[in-house]
Amino acid sequence: MKKERFDYLVNAGVYNREDDIVILTDITNGLLEALYKPTLTGIRIDTGRIRKFKIDRTEPVNWGGGLYATVDKEADGYLITVEEAAPDECDTLCDYVEKYLTAWGWPVKVVTEW
């Protein structure tokens, strides 16, 4: 959901302003889930999408564990923390998430952490 749509729905009374964390968490985790594909035995990394989104597969990421994000509100936007990836060593993964969220109007900074 784009930020503009969220703001519209807040003004329409569908959401509360405080729902931003839940909505942004869902959106971010959807972006991370898009890097995987389902199989009959579970999920696995989709190497085609990794290439398409220009994510460096050699970055220290626990691809097998499944990535997920948490969101914290800051004075100038939101801090997105992608779990299961080495801090300060996953620039292309952070760039992928940040690129889409900022394009959708969400002011974010993305970091990684184990």
pTM: 0.93
Q: Residue 85: how many CB atoms within 10 A of its CB?
A: 23
Is 61 within 8 Å of 47 (Cβ atoms)?
Answer: no
Rounded to the nearest integer, the mean pLDDT of the chain is 96
* Intra-chain end-to-end CA distance of the chain, in Å: 27
For position 62, what pLDDT does the model report? 94
Instruction: Output the CA torsion 111→85→98→100 (10° steps).
Output: -160
Residue 24 host element (H or E): helix 20-33
What letter represents residue 96's amino acid? Y
Region 87-104: mean pLDDT is 98
Q: pLDDT tens digits for 26-75?
A: 999 999 999 999 889 888 999 999 999 999 999 999 998 789 999 999 99
CB burial class (10 A; 0-12, 13-18, 19+) of residue 24? buried
